[in-house]
Structure 1
Amino acid sequence: MDRLVLLGELGLDGSVRGIRGVLPAVLAAARAGHDQVVVPAANAAEAALVDRVQVLALDNLTQLVAHLEGTTPLVPYERGALPAEPPVPDLGDVVGQTAGRRAVEVAAAGGHHLYLAGPPGAGKTMLAERLPGLLPPLDEEAALEVTAIHSIAGTLPPEAPLVTRPTFEAPHHSATMAALIGGGSGQIRPGALCRAHRGVLFLDEAPEFPRAVLDTLRQPLERGQVTIQRAAGAATFPCRAQLVLAANPCPCASAAGDSACTCSPLERRRYQSRLSGPLLDRVDLRVDLPPVTRAAWLDGLGAPESTAVVAERVARARAAAGERLAGTELRLNSEVPGRMLRERFVIPRASLSLAERALERGSLSVRGFDRVIRVAWTLSDLAGRTVPGPDQVAEALGMRLQRVAA
């Protein structure tokens, strides 16, 4: 019994109530050498995700006393089959947005951040919601990592104790810094960015978010983790999420586009300036979505590619990137540092001529140049090439320099 770990909240009536953060607590107990834990019945399925630990579930203190005395030992909890995954939104539902569909596919293949600009009804939200379905399922290590974050946050559904699919977080534009990044006055809890770890963080109506809140994303997006300091202590959470920003071209948000806009040039500039340059500089793909015309709608009624078809191409592209990055700790093109791009994964100078001219003109920053190269490698993987050519670099540059919300 000296190796027994007890987790739970004891009520005044002797009941044992469920708590948050059971999974990371059990994982820590296992790493410390404990092989048996007692948890509330409400947390049993979550605790049983750790294979090397025996889980004993109970409802009240009387059961624990009887177990410790040896009169009525608790029966080890047996983990049942995980519930079937709910269906994901299908990319085939999106019609008339060829550039948007291409951008979402590229974002999924390389793990790139994405900015979608366009009038209401152009399909920005639909495309963002379908990005998680293009990402591969989480492996065991990533699934436990993501599940632990949701356990601490208290957002883990009891009927689905293990998160096996990339998550999708879409906070409202009134969200505070603590809601987006994490914090709290008492126990430190992960925010939407951390809950989107290995998944997608979607900020709809991005210019409506307070600028200071958006700018707090810059450092965590670069580092892949966030440390939250409070007087009582500090907590570090992983946050390798894909950021998707969506915005209307202007405050009036006319569905007909620029032709019906009633905003002055000053109002448009002021609206667009709410997204800071340093934040947008970290976004690899910037895509304008035009209004969906009647002709495009009718053409799209044929058979747009489904999520399953596009996800196959994404999986092949990720496998190609994985082979190229073998021997490193990197998995995606978006994670490759600039120095490695220039020294180990060299693209012929002839293929880079367009990007180099954009850098000389000042259209690209040095960081932006590196991001164009990363996207070019993703496009090369999607095309089945061993090295990007002029076409891939030109397409990557076009996705970087599009006239977003101008």
Structure 2
Amino acid sequence: MQQATVRRDLAPKRNTGPIFLRTILVNHLLEPPARVTGITRFLFALLAALLATTEDSYVLLTCWAESDLPPALLHPRLKIVTRRFRKSAALNSLAQNATVARAMKQTGATIELNSNPLGAWKGSWPRAIVVHDLYLETMPEAYAWRHRAVWRVLFPKVAHSAAAIIVPSGSTRQDLLDGHPETADKIRVVPEAPAFSPDKEIGRAPIEGRYGLMVGNMSPNKNPAPVVEALALLAARGVEAPVLHIGGDDRGLLRAALADAGGSFVTSISGVDDAALKGAYANAAFFINSSLHEGFCLPIVEAQSLGAPVIASNRSALPEIAGEGALLIDPTSPIQIADAIQRVWTDDAFAQDLARRGSANARRFSWERTAKMLAAIFDEMDEARPDRRVFASLKKTPAPRKAAE
């Protein structure tokens, strides 16, 4: 009689012990719903990369409705939990202590990743926070006293509770060490990357003709006034180099600079989609950043990845991120800025070489690399979990032998 055979893939598998399926809760509660802030843009790109790169499961604890999320986040390993938005950072952070604890328990998550530096600070689980910048400490004069007060009270609590503090650059790491040396052992530098893929659709330029480009909401660190003064100097030299600004100007910093200069050197628009933003980068004669402080400056890498020659401030994280692919300027010198713009605007060979070097620099950054670095930090945090340590000690301790009868 022929002996029956059993297919190995159908044979019952031996139980070799507990299997830990890791679930990570991603805290996005401090960002407003249905509004793509810089932090939201960062997080959505990061989450898509984590889902593509790791086998972990994720819970997005957010104020966004699931229907408003990008398609890349509608994934079987990502659970969406929507909660109400609290505009006050202080009240939001305070409420998170209960909201996050409840979500951790209900979803079985074992690690929390907070995409902001403020938020919940209570709880026994391992927590990683992302500190994108420290503007409230490096340029406090630009912020209202109440914002500074909330930061001074809450950030030390959240930082103390964190097992890991993720920063996007060596410059931001140093800023954190200068103000909070006790965090030294927790800091991990994890760079960002362009928030869209260069092989996706590139839209038309938002305006006709040649133009330079600025991207970002005009917060005080962006320092737009010297650029406007530089454009006025160029106009006096007979060089017309109009600039397109994409982003908000809620504080009126750009409008005030244009009024002082008495010209319309900059056209400002907002609310553009990714295709239009990519079109603006790809068709720009130059991209310029005149910031006094930046934690990373994603627009520089985005501009480089799409072939725009970059002129960048020589302050803070910008030389580190721009690498060899930018013409660096003193952001407080309108004359130096004007000279840099004129060179890129009028010297095609120089502009093309600058764009080539920028493209090479942008290849240093990818979300896949970022996701792998973050996953390694999760592994490190996972190994430090109390229940992991107990389980490891049980495995190493031999079972007691029965006494001989």
Could you say whether these structures have the same fold, taking a TM-score greater than 0.5 normalized by the shorter chain as the test?
Answer: no
TM-score, normalization: structure 2? 0.25
